[in-house]
Amino acid sequence: MQPLIVQVATSFASDAFALVNGFRRIVTHLVMAPLERIAKACDVAGILPERAARAVERERVRHAWHALSRRTPNPHHSRRHGGLFNCLRSLGELT
């Protein structure tokens, strides 16, 4: 009976985490939308599409790296979730 209780608890925790993560993404999108419009309006030289392409490439490489690291587990390496201010990482594109 105990494994069933543990399974229900972990399922609830993962669902709660996904729900909070979804709300965080919605709020971040709502907050960043006006900044994105201003950035696109001020992009006279047309460099934002180039930066977006580089960001997509970085994400592709990062996902490939994570997939490779999952195959060879390292007990001394802890997974990073990005931290509290991870949602603000896209502001680096505005510099």
How far, in Å, CA of 95 to CA of 88, rounded? 13
The predicted structure's pLDDT at residue 77: 52
- Per the model's pLDDT, the better-predicted residue between 1 and 58 turns out to be 58
Q: What is the pLDDT of residues 69-86, one digit of tens each?
A: 777 655 555 555 566 677
The predicted structure's pLDDT at residue 5: 86
**Cβ neighbours around 88 below 10 Å, total:** 12
Residues 6+ apart with CB under 8 A from 82: 89
Q: What is the pLDDT of residues 1-14, one digit of tens each?
A: 568 888 888 899 99
End-to-end Cα separation, the chain, in angstroms: 55
Q: Tell me the pTM.
A: 0.46
- Helix (H) and strand (E) counts for the chain? 2, 0
Q: What is the pLDDT of residues 22-43, one digit of tens each?
A: 999 999 999 999 998 998 889 8
Residue from 43, 52, 37 nearest 90 by CA = 52
The predicted structure's pLDDT at residue 73: 57
Domain range summary for the chain, segments of one domain joined by +: 2-73
* Residue 74 exposure: Cα atoms within 13 Å on the Cβ side: 7
* Residue 44 exposure: Cα atoms within 13 Å on the Cβ side: 0
